[in-house]
Structure 1
Amino acid sequence: MAAASPKAIVSPSVLASNFADLGNEIRRMMHCGAEWVHMDVMDGHFVPNITMGAPVLASVHKTVDNVFMDCHMMVADPKRWVKPVAEAGGKSYTFHIEALSDPENAHEIVDLIHSTGMRAAVAISPDTPSSAISDRLGNSVDMLLVMTVVPGAGGQKFMQRCVPKVAELRARFPQKDIQVDGGVGPGTVGCCARAGSNVIVAGTALFGAEKPADVIADFKQQIDSSKERWGTDRALEGLEDAGK
């Protein structure tokens, strides 16, 4: 029996939410059909901005029932924060390969993440090739994240030149979750889905939508209808129109 295709998942980025009402904002997205919420943790070193840390994650974990926090760690020392994030209720921990002094030692942080019970994921920034994720690393993590904007700030324009990396990773890792993050919305989600992404991060496109439930449903439909293209030469059809 063939293995099931990875599930369509939408992970709203809380950077686009009203932080003064964060708990209710997250509940609203979950009620609209989002399986995860994307928590961007920035330390002011790996990227210039500072956002939230473990105390905010812990508050969300305590106040929002059954929340799956998809923690995107844009930090200079990803190993340092694994246990604090796990203790704060994080469910998935994404580290950037660019933050490692020696990418060959990435398996050490993956093992540490898994030892806490969290899912492990590795991210690549726009100028990092997908080949930076070795077969060994890709097979050891639970998810691969392709950034389609420069890490560190919301509201940037989608970089369509990053999408072929999604297709390359999907060809090598057909059963893995592959996430795309950065400038994704109704006009750009299609090419991400066709290339092979099954986990979509979106901020303004969801928190700013009049009917976010409809947007989430559309994202999932586009992923599910694209699965037959994955791993074929049709995966990048229409890419030239993305982001325009």
Structure 2
Amino acid sequence: MTNEIIIAPSILAANFARLGEEIAAIDAAGADWIHCDVMDGHFVPNISFGADVIKAIRPSTSKTFDVHLMITPVDCYLEAFAKAGADIITVHAEAGPHLDRSLQAIRALGKKAGVSLCPATPEAAIEYVLDRVDLILVMTVNPGFGGQSFLGSQLEKIRRIRAMIGDRPIRLEVDGGVTRDNAAVVAAAGADTLVAGSAVFRGNGSADYANNIAAIRVAAESGRVPKLQYGSASPVRTSESELVR
């Protein structure tokens, strides 16, 4: 795996009263992508925002808009999000009966296509669409709310999906409870794109956000290189039980 680490702050944790300013702040702070969690109160038990908000904030940054649609039905809204400024559109494998068709529709709109899996959904659900996707998103919390604790049980799924990807040019993204404390093991499992909400939007403005993003990035990069302790030939591993904080 040679993909560089990408940090994609989730604006779900931003101050919505000054959302444009918050996006400009994380842009200046070193965010690689802007992660937009769209919730409908139906597929997940919460409502966030829709295509009109994405269109309104699109001028705030030139960074990639990574739009995660936690909605169902989804196909009828793809064009609206594409026109609003999404660069990557990710749909859930669980959100509709024809995942292959949804992914084809996203690409037909000229956008990169992603597929997401809830914690209880096995990786077998995406086995036959790997050649349709540019990104696979593993949910490490149950979708619907920010600020939840990381589910260490998903690390093995991340490892298996990394093996499934092989040499395909597919990014492996993780969303849910990602912090500087678990970024290393998440990257070690095979993820190259980390979504973080609460862990980024701590503090007051761009300087604090920059420190938070940098800490997550450094931790993730460290996880990609085996660490040796006291000259031992055995890499030091972090217990999965230490991940929930």
Please tell me whether residue 149 in structure 1 is matched to residue 141 in structure 2.
yes
Following superposition, the deviation at residue 111 of structure 1 comes to: 1.2
Cα distance between partner residues in 1 of 2:39 and 2:187: 27
Cα distance between partner residues in 1 of 2:223 and 2:182: 14
Cα distance between partner residues in 2 of 1:219 and 1:24: 22
Cα distance between partner residues in 1 of 2:31 and 2:24: 9
Deviates more, 1:65-74 or 1:199-208: 65-74
Please tell me whether residue 164 in structure 1 is matched to residue 156 in structure 2.
yes
Q: Which residue does the alignment assign to 1:120? A: 113
Cα distance between partner residues in 1 of 2:241 and 2:40: 35
Following superposition, the deviation at residue 196 of structure 1 comes to: 0.7
Following superposition, the deviation at residue 223 of structure 1 comes to: 3.1
Whether contact under 8 Å (1:194, 1:237) holds in the other structure is no
Distance 1:173 1:50, change over 3 A: same
Q: Which whole-Å deviations, capped at 9, do the CAs of 1:111-130 have from their partners, x for residues lacking one? A: 11011121110000011112
TM-score, with normalisation over the residues of structure 2? Answer: 0.88
Gaps of 5+ in 2: 227-234
Distance 1:140 1:66, change over 3 A: same
Q: What is the percent sequence identity of the aligned residues?
A: 35
CA RMSD after TM alignment:
1.9
Q: Which residue does the alignment assign to 1:96? A: 92
Q: Which residue does the alignment assign to 1:42? A: 39
Cα distance between partner residues in 1 of 2:57 and 2:100: 29
Cα distance between partner residues in 2 of 1:120 and 1:236: 33
Amino acid at match of 2:88: S
Following superposition, the deviation at residue 132 of structure 1 comes to: 1.6
Q: Which residue does the alignment assign to 2:70? A: 74
Amino acid at match of 1:214: N
Distance 1:18 1:95, change over 3 A: same
Whether contact under 8 Å (1:195, 1:236) holds in the other structure is no
Paired residue secondary structure (2:150): coil
Whether contact under 8 Å (1:76, 1:99) holds in the other structure is yes
Paired residue secondary structure (1:184): coil
Q: How many residues align?
A: 232
Q: Which whole-Å deviations, capped at 9, do the CAs of 1:2-38 have from their partners, x for residues lacking one? A: xx71221111111110001101101111111101111
Amino acid at match of 2:16: F
Gaps of 5+ in 1: none
Whether contact under 8 Å (1:167, 1:236) holds in the other structure is no
Q: Which whole-Å deviations, capped at 9, do the CAs of 1:145-193 have from their partners, x for residues lacking one? A: 1101111111111111111111111111144211111111112212111
Paired residue secondary structure (2:94): helix
Paired residue secondary structure (1:208): coil
TM-score, with normalisation over the residues of structure 1? Answer: 0.88
Whether contact under 8 Å (1:123, 1:145) holds in the other structure is yes
Cα distance between partner residues in 2 of 1:44 and 1:214: 33
Deviant stretches of 4+, over 4 Å: 234-237
Paired residue secondary structure (1:204): coil
Whether contact under 8 Å (1:38, 1:69) holds in the other structure is yes
Amino acid at match of 2:5: A
Please tell me whether residue 32 in structure 1 is matched to residue 29 in structure 2.
yes
Amino acid at match of 2:195: V
Cα distance between partner residues in 2 of 1:226 and 1:220: 10
Paired residue secondary structure (1:144): strand
Q: Which residue does the alignment assign to 2:9? A: 12
